[in-house]
Chains A and B, each alone.
Chain A
Amino acid sequence: MNMHKDDVQHKQAFDEPLWWGLFSAGGVCFAVLLPAVILFIAVLLPLGLLPAEALSYERASSLLFSVPGFLFIGAVVCLPLFHAAHRLRHGLFDISVGSDALNKKLMYGGAALLSVLALGIVVAGFLR
């Protein structure tokens, strides 16, 4: 692998700004949007503290499977996933777990896969 080290460095000069950009954008979403999203969807909803029809099956479907729903998932799932991937990759490096070349592929690859899945679900529900 070390023979290709210079190759790797050369490539990283191209893609690191992309990962950093996604990390920053995801960080903004995580900080500004996620507190409210988690509070309403993961705390108030299961505790039954929202009005009964607020997120009924029909209302939740019409909210999610729409153009605003698509943008919402992009900001609340996809970008924060890339933020998380970046921090996990660097965190693993900090505690010397695995190799960074592999971690990088696993983390960003996982974030990309889950993002496509999430956006695909919205599109599937929209076309239904």
Chain B
Amino acid sequence: MDKSSSQRLPPLKRNWWLKHRFFKLYMLREATVLPLVFFTLCLLAGMVALLQGAESWQGWIAFMGSPIVLLLNLLALAASLFHAATFFVLFPRVMPLRIAGHSLPDQAIVAGQWAGVVMVALLFFWLLGRSGA
């Protein structure tokens, strides 16, 4: 997409998106990546710590438990779920599925994707959640 179209249209003010609920939600969705980037940087730090040795790894877990880091990561969890909610409804619009000539209802496609989220969580529970693993 050509981003220099401002040469043809009058430039928008920076607060244009504050004027309508739809645009505010759009910007909120754009902002979901901010806590995601924070979590990703945390994860990268954890990988470096794991490479360094057992002591660094324990230090990283303690760092992850500090209140501000925990709070920002809880925000990242909420952001990922909000992103999921907005992303899943797009799928049936972008790629409507048809099975044996019948189009699958939108709700079924959205529900299927949420089932995917639950499956991944169950996989993690199977991998990490059981005692004596």
Contacts and interface: CB of A to CB of B under 8 A. Distances in A.
Chain A complexes with chain B: yes
A24 to B, nearest CB: 9
A77 B43 contact: yes
Interface in A70-128: 73, 76-77, 80-81, 83-84, 87-88, 90-91, 93-96, 100-101, 114, 117-118, 121-122, 124-125, 128
Interface residues of B, number: 61
Interface in B65-104: 65, 69-70, 73-74, 76-77, 80-81, 83-84, 87-88
Interface in B17-65: 17, 27, 30-33, 36-37, 39-40, 42-44, 46-48, 50-51, 53-54, 57-58, 61-62, 64-65
A38 B39 contact: yes
Instruction: Give the contact-size bracket for chain A.
Output: 35 or more
A12 B50 contact: no
B2 A64 contact: no
Contacts of B43: 41-42, 76-77
Contact of B47 (A2, A64, A81): A64
Contact of B14 (A40, A42, A96): A96
> Looking at chain B's contact residues, is the secondary structure mostly helix, strand, loop, or mixed?
helix
A64 B49 CA distance: 12
Given A32-B120, A100-B4, 5 more contacts: A38-B80, A42-B76, A45-B61, A60-B57, A124-B51
11 contacts: A8-B4, A34-B76, A39-B121, A43-B73, A51-B130, A57-B53, A57-B58, A60-B57, A64-B50, A73-B47, A96-B14
